[in-house]
Structure 1
Amino acid sequence: MIVIELAWLLFQCLIGYNLIFPVVLLMIFSFKKRPEVRNRLLSVSGVPDYAIIVTAYEQIEQLPAVVSSLLKLNYSSYHIYVVADKCDTTGLHFGSDKVSLLRPEQVLGSNTRSHFYAIRHFIRPHSHLTIIDSDNLTDPEYLNELNVYFDCGFKAVQGVREAKNLDTTYARLDAARDIYYHFYDGKILFGCGSSATLAGSGMAFTTALYRECLEHLDVTGAGFDKVLQEAIVSRDYRIAFAEHAVVYDEKTSGTGQLVNQRARWINTWFKYFSLGFKIVFKGVVNFSANQFLFGLVLLRPPLFIFLLLSGFFLFVNLFIAPVVALVWFIALCVFVLGFYISLKRSETDRRIYQSLVNIPKFIFFQVLALFKSRRANQISVATRHGHSEQHE
């Protein structure tokens, strides 16, 4: 009986710490002195030469807009590689010698395969590469903002993916979720001496590091960014967070898109979350705050899962342990405060605030996604956004 009670309390602690962990990080961030990176001069590798890799799968409708955005970058030393995997590229022309349109002879069906297909077709040995989705648009200063951190010696940098569309309630809630994660898993985590989590696009690396981490692997399905960030942090490199390196990302607008996309994301978490144990252990052995904190973040369940479990524990403890129920209520209040702080300290559109009353609906559709997650990779290899699909 005692063993069961201890196991019950331990499980509650493992879930409950996720409610307060972001605010604890915020407190550490608030007191930690951080070096000023913007005053650093080019001192490590000169001006980086970028390969900009854009991967498309089946759909090409948004590629002209993506490439047009990239050609407006306020930067000279870059080349764009568009990998059109399983695409009909008839009539697709970009009219610039800074763009290479690559058509794989066989279907690749994988982000990393597309990336390395582009690497094998580099027109020159680029020192750095950045990954852009086929529905992204870029701020003109995107590469310059990445350079702020590369100039400081970082080998991996994650930018910010801001919402390109806020036309539906679900798109706004998706944007709110991104703001929360960018704030805590990006700005705050990096500011505490750890690494920003990778977001799948809007990220950049030295070409040498990217090849070192992934060239010997064949990562299929969603989640290549999970494998990549584990490989980087396991080497105890830090992934910098560039809050002014902005790409504009298309958010899920409909329930069908939301369920299918989240099913793949949930499947990815179950597939790769155990990597967090490995990194936490390395952090303890190496006395590395970078690895230890990052490993804890990887172990965190998807937001809706630990919120639902927290509500369940609160309800059950109302009947069996009212004092514990009070602790759960306080922890949930701390989480809500932390979520509000992330929105308040970011440039949050007022429509996003207005959409928050629909969070229960958003969670409901993610529960549906949970039940589809086991066969998520068989549903599709892409996320449909309006009239296009985003290659995973």
Structure 2
Amino acid sequence: MVTAHKNLELIPPLVDSVLKQTYPHYTVYVVADACESADIGITHPQVKVLMPATHLNAKIRSIDFAIQQFEKEHDVIVILDADNLLHPDYLQVLNGYFAKGYRAVQTNMLAKNTDSAYACLDAAGNYFYNFIDRRMRMELGCSANIWGLGIAMELSLYRSIIYRNFLGGFDKKIQADIVKQIPLLAYAEEAKVYDEKIDSGEAMERQRTRWINAYFKYFAYGWDVFATGLRRMNRNLVYFGLNLLRPPLFMQIGAGLLMVVANFWINPAYSIAWLAILASFPLTFFAIVAIMSRDRRIISSLVWLPAVFLRQLKAVFQIRKANRSFLQTSNNKRIYIEDILK
């Protein structure tokens, strides 16, 4: 299921990557919301392009619209963005996870482009969070966090989610609801979906503004998952809830710097300890990215991490904008899956 808003330019490469899947049993639904036409230049019996009569202007509404138009009762829904591309084995790998009994699976989001310093930094962030929030949690037997794309789940599970807000926080609402209904939210590292990375500081600022706003807007969901875990004596839910409550990294670093300053007047030894803790973060971040990625451009881009920190500070002062608008970041990299695989 693919949502497109105002522009279908990137849909043909995505649909092309789906049609090249080694797993044959699927139907592609493309929602062409607020688009001038429904023509994607591809005619195939497994591809359905849906054009709402009125503008939906929200990813959640587009998904609901597509579900209402399903030609049959599908077992699983995979949610993708228009700028994504799928590895040829993507659906085959996912099918194996559902055959094992998992009801919801997050797949591995990788960079479609690394043609700028900001794109490389965005990709580095993916590697870091894929490691700490997905791979390691699976190894610990805990549920993985989801992205806003590349999430696959039973259709009946998705239908159990009731939305009250349609601007931002799509992924936070989904995971907070479904993690309480299933034993484990799995992570399929072998199922690769490629996503377009932002290529400028301004785009990063808009993206982070949206994310920070969603963190505060859906903060209560973290408490709900945490409290549910305590009531059920379920360590998975307790741990998941604590991670939903975890502030963005730049806020944690900012709090650490405040502790350095405060403890300088209380006990300088504590300030040194806090400085050591803060120094361990960039070292850990670098080590994880270096292990997870073999792209030298991504590793060398880490020298610009302070720029990301400053962009996120600026984003904090703009979070009210995200309540009035989705603050969509533009995507324009028309790349086919062969360009990435070669």
Question: CA 1:291/1:211 → structure 2, altered by over 3 Å: closer, same or farther?
Answer: same
- Is residue 297 of structure 2 the alignment partner of residue 351 of structure 1? yes
Q: Distance in 2 between matches of 1:287 and 1:175?
A: 36
Give CA deviations for 1:36-69 in whole Å, capped at 9, x if unaligned: xxxxxxxxxxxxxxxxx00011121111111111
Structure 1 residues 378, 171: CA separation in 2 closer, same or farther (over 3 Å shift)? same
Distance across 2 between alignment mates of 1:357 and 1:325: 25
Give the whole-Å Cα distance in 2 for the aligned partners of 1:90 and 1:113. 18
Relative distance call for 1:238 and 1:156 in structure 2 (3 A) is: same
Question: Shift of the alpha carbon at 1:217?
Answer: 2.9
Q: Which residue does 1:121 correspond to in 2?
A: 69
Task: Give the alignment partner of residue 241 of structure 1, picking from 167, 184, 187.
Answer: 187
Give the one of 37, 53, 57 matched to 2:5.
57
Q: Which residue of 2 aligns with 1:76?
A: 24
Equivalent positions of 1:148-163 (< 5 A) are 148-163=96-111
Deviation sequence 1:62-85 (CA, Å, 0-9, x none): 111111111111111000000011
Aligned position for 1:142:
90
Change (3 A) 1:62 1:122: same
Opposite residue 49 of structure 2, the aligned amino acid is: L
- Contact (CA 8 Å) 2:6, 2:34: kept in 1 or not? yes
Alignment match, 2:147: 199
Q: Which amino acid aligns with 1:89?
A: S
Match of 2:254 in 1: 308
In structure 2, the partner of 1:107 is 55
- Aligned-partner Cα distance in 1 for 2:250–2:327: 23
Tell me the equivalent position of 2:208.
262
- Per-residue deviation, residues 225-282 of structure 1 (Å, max 9, x unmatched): 1111001112253110000111000011012211111111110001012211111111
SS at match of 1:201: coil
Contact 1:156/1:205 (8 A) holds in 2: yes
1:190 paired residue number: 138
Name the aligned partner's letter for residue 281 of structure 2: F
Is the 1:253–1:385 Cα contact (8 Å) retained in structure 2?
A: no
SS of the aligned residue for 2:108 comes to: strand
Tell whether the 8 Å contact from 2:103 to 2:153 is kept in structure 1 after alignment.
yes
Contact preservation (8 Å) 2:206, 2:327: no
Matched residue, 2:115: 167
Alignment check: 8 A CA contact 2:290 2:299 kept: no
The CA distance in 1 between the partners of 2:176 and 2:39, in whole Å, is: 40
What SS is found at the alignment partner of 1:384? coil
Pair 1:223–1:165, CA change in 2 (3 A): same
Paired position in structure 1 for 2:238: 292
Q: CA deviation at 1:151?
A: 1.6
1:109 and 1:218, CA in 2 relative to 1: closer, same or farther beyond 3 A? Answer: farther
1:180 to 113, 122, 128: 128
Partner SS for 2:27: strand
**Unaligned ranges ≥5, structure 2:** 335-342
Give 1:90 shift: 5.8
Tell me if the contact between 2:5 and 2:32 (Cα under 8 Å) persists in the aligned partners. yes
State the SS of the aligned residue for 2:14.
Answer: helix
Q: 1:131 aligns with which of 63, 69, 79?
A: 79
C-alpha distance in 1, partners of 2:326/2:228? 35
Structure 1 unaligned blocks of 5 or more: 1-52
Take 1:70 and 1:174, find their aligned partners in 2: how far apart are those partners? Answer: 25
What is the rounded CA distance, in whole Å, between the counterparts of 2:157 and 2:221 in structure 1?
19
Of 44, 52, 55 in structure 2, the residue corresponding to residue 96 of structure 1 is: 44
TM-fit CA distance, 1:381: 4.9
Partner of 2:338: none
Structure 1 CA distance for aligned equivalents of residues 102 and 333 of structure 2: 37
CA–CA distance in structure 2, aligned partners of residues 219 and 235 of structure 1? 21
By how many angstroms is 1:194 displaced? Answer: 1.6
Aligned amino acid, residue 21 of structure 2: L
Aligned residues: 334
- Provide, for residues 164-207 of structure 1, a one-character-per-residue CA deviation record: whole Å limited to 9, x for no partner: 11111111111111111111111112221221111011110011
Q: Tell me, yes or no, if structure 1 residue 378 matches structure 2 residue 339.
A: no
RMSD: 1.7
Q: CA deviation at 1:336?
A: 3.2
